[in-house]
């Protein structure tokens, strides 16, 4: 999906949720290169000081061991939040580097069959590497940091542009 299209779709999703508190949930861990996308984006969003709460950073990642607790905490703190999920994913070789936006919940850890329930209301995923069905965890660990950092920067820019254009109009 083209960057401009994603910016518009995110802006529309944020505008539709005018009565909801928006929360960014950036899922992943810095202990796996490919899975560090979420915490990298979370850290970059916090550095940009966006006007929404961000959960999941390099300092305080949201990962398999604390995801359920974090979601419970979000629903305790916010009455009716719009949870905007951000996560890495694996896909076909020719699709590595693509950023996908969907106005649906997402399933964290799906490639690794972690068994999590759907999370969030809308989400951005980036294909950080190809899916090797025999060794998906190893594929995530062997993902190039350069790829992940560039995707994280692009996602952060997309989100910031969406927020800025939402405010201007």
Percent of the chain with pLDDT over 90: 73
pLDDT in tens, 41-53: 999 999 998 999 9
Q: What is the pLDDT of residue 117?
A: 79
Any domain includes 25:
yes
pTM: 0.93
Question: Phi then psi for 85, rounded to 5 degrees?
Answer: -85, 145
Any domain includes 142:
yes
Any domain includes 144:
yes
The tally of domains found in the chain comes to 1
Confidence band of 1 (pLDDT split at 50, 70, 90): low
Q: Is the pLDDT reported for residue 166 higher than 70?
A: no
Confidence band of 142 (pLDDT split at 50, 70, 90): very high
Mean pLDDT of 139-159: 96
**3-state DSSP of the chain:** CCHHHHHHHHHHHHHHCCCCCEEEEEECCCCCCHHHHHHHHHHHHHHCCCCCEEECCCCCCECCCCHHHHHHHHHHHCCCCEEEEEEEEEECHHHCCCEEEECCCECCCHHHCCCCCCECCEEEEEEEEECCCCCHHHHHHCCCHHHHHHHHHHHHHHHHHHHHHHHHC
Tokens of 63: 């990962």
Q: What is the pLDDT of residue 30?
A: 94
Any domain includes 169:
no
Domain range enclosing 125: 3-164
Instruction: Give the Cβ contact number of residue 141 at 10 Å.
Output: 14
CATH of the domain at 20: 3.40.50.1450
pLDDT in tens, 9-35: 999 999 888 778 999 999 999 999 999
């Amino acid at each position: 999906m083209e960057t401009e299209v994603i910016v518009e779709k995110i802006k529309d999703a944020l505008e539709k949720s005018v009565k909801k508190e928006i929360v960014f949930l950036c899922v992943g861990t810095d202990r796996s290169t490919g899975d560090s996308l979420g915490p990298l984006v979370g850290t970059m969003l916090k550095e940009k000081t966006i006007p929404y709460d961000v959960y999941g950073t390099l300092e305080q990642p949201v990962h398999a061991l604390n995801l359920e607790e974090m979601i419970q905490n979000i629903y305790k703190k916010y009455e009716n939040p719009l949870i905007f999920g951000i996560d890495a994913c694996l896909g076909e070789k020719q699709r590595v580097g693509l950023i996908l936006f969907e106005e649906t919940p997402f399933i964290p850890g799906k490639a690794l069959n972690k068994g999590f329930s759907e999370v969030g209301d809308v989400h951005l995923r980036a294909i950080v590497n190809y899916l090797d069905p025999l060794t998906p965890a190893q594929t995530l660990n062997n993902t190039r940091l350069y790829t992940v950092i560039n995707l994280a920067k692009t996602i952060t820019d997309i989100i910031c542009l969406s927020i800025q254009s939402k405010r201007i109009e």
